Amino acid sequence: MIYRIEDLIKLLNIHQIGSTRLRNLVSYFGSTEGVLNASFKELKSVPGIDENIAKCIKNQKDDVFVKNQIKAVKEHNVRIVTFWDEEYPYNLKKINDPPVLIYIKGNFLNKDKYSISIVGTRTPTEYGKIIAEKFSKELVSLGLTVISGLARGVDSAAHRGAINGGGRTIGVLGSALNRIYPPENLKLARKVMESGALISEFPMGTGPDRENFPRRNRIISGMSLGTLVVEGRKDSGAIITADFAFSQKRKVFAVPGSIDNPKSEGPHFLIKKGAVLVQSVNDILEELEPELKGLQTKIDLPEVKIELSEGEEKILNLLSREPIHIDVICKKGNFTSSSALSLLLSLELKGLVKQLPGKMFIRY
């Protein structure tokens, strides 16, 4: 396939031409130059190209946009990967409407085809954040790549878990790579890039417009073997991502939660639709075992026995996924404040407890 990046940018800038039409055009004429040099009559002979689209192609003269794009790409150290390049993500190429162009900072590796996406609400509970980070950390420890959308909440926790676990993570943006959103995730975005890649299908300078995010979500699910939804309402973006995964014939996983928590509505809805109920990473590994055969890692997460003192065991039994204040812990367990704090610190070092602001504690 013969193409010029500049030609692809120019053609995609035509409102009526998306990735699917552009792939068909380049395939029909054999090159991007062939598309741009085709006559009006020849363009109309391509399936899906009507008179209006053919006119737009023939009248496309916006070289300024193309030049500005190339300049911005160079200024921000961004690379452009096309659908026809060997580096293009393996799983993404298999969906119905893969983007023709991907803007990337970082790099793709062949092993990224063993990826799981983790998504959820932008306003998770402490339980949701802990679960997203925990699952992410365990998945990368087994050699899988974690993909998410760099959004607030569950997405951020998933990326942090992968980074803290020393693994690979890929952030898919709903804006251009020079318009990181949300802005408070700029530092996290840099860490994601260093640990894997930041990608977007949107031209440089594109803001985080609302209509961009459903398009972004199809890439998140499309790059993954399966999508794990942690928390979210039934009409949330996480459920849109899961719906894309269903339509792409990918696995959908959901973490159950309290029936009293509105943010458990989405995962419970997905479980009713056929998503796999997940209580541990092993539930994901078992479901994806055929797809993970080529992964050079032990695809099983062993149970680790943690020794607890009598006091640690007693205090751990008082904790749950809901935050509880130190005074309540002392009262229920008949502890002094100093002994309770000492035991809680020991449990925190063992990775079983997390302290929250205001002397609140939660069980992992």
What pLDDT does residue 216 have?
97
* Alpha-carbon distances of 293 from 14, 135, 286, 287, rounded to whole Å: 43, 20, 11, 12
Chosen CATH of 105-287 out of 3.40.50.450, 2.10.77.10, 2.60.40.10, 1.10.260.40: 3.40.50.450
Contact (Cβ atoms closer than 8 angstroms) between residue 255 and residue 119: no
- Neighbour-count burial of 141, counting CB atoms closer than 10 A to its CB (0-12 exposed, 13-18 middle, 19+ buried): middle
pLDDT for the residue 240: 97
Q: Which residues of 311-331 are buried (b: 16+ CB within 10 A; e: fewer)?
A: bbeebbebbebebbebeebbe
Look at 303 and 20; give whichever has higher pLDDT. 20
Q: Is 89 helix (H, G, I), strand (E, B) or coil?
A: coil
Per residue in 84-110, pLDDT tens? 999 999 999 999 999 999 999 999 999
- Residue 81: phi and psi, rounded to 5, are -110, 135
Token pair of 13 as six digits: 């800038």
Amino acid present at 238: A
**What per-residue confidence (pLDDT) applies to 305?**
65
% of residues, the chain, pLDDT over 70:
97
Per-residue pLDDT band at 260 (split at 50, 70, 90): confident
What local confidence, expressed as pLDDT, does residue 1 receive? 61
- pLDDT tens string 122-177: 999 988 999 999 999 999 999 999 999 999 999 999 999 999 999 999 999 999 99
Place of tokens 């002397």: 359
318 pLDDT higher than 80: yes
Q: Give the whole-angstrom CA distance, residue 200 versus residue 209.
A: 13
* % of the chain residues with pLDDT over 90: 79
**Taking a C-beta distance cutoff of 8 angstroms, is the pair 145, 115 a contact?**
yes
Domains of the chain: which residue ranges? Answer: 1-75, 105-287, 310-363
Phi, psi of 45 (to 5 degrees): -80, -10
Predicted confidence at residue 351, as pLDDT, reads 78
Residues 225, 89 contacting (CB under 8 angstroms): no
Is the model's pLDDT at 301 over the cut of 50? no
- pLDDT at res. 80: 97
pLDDT > 60? residue 300: no
Q: What is the per-residue pLDDT for 304? A: 54
Q: Which two tokens stand for residue 44?
A: 């109309």
Contact 183, 210 (CB under 8 A): no
Q: What is the structure's pLDDT at 256?
A: 94
Does the pLDDT at position 266 exceed 50?
yes
Binned at pLDDT 50, 70 and 90, residue 303 comes out as low
* pLDDT, the chain, mean: 92
Spatial distance between the Cα atoms of 336 and 10, rounded to a whole number of angstroms: 70
The answer to whether domain 1-75 has CATH 1.10.150.20 is: yes
Under CATH, which number does the domain 310-363 receive? 1.10.10.10
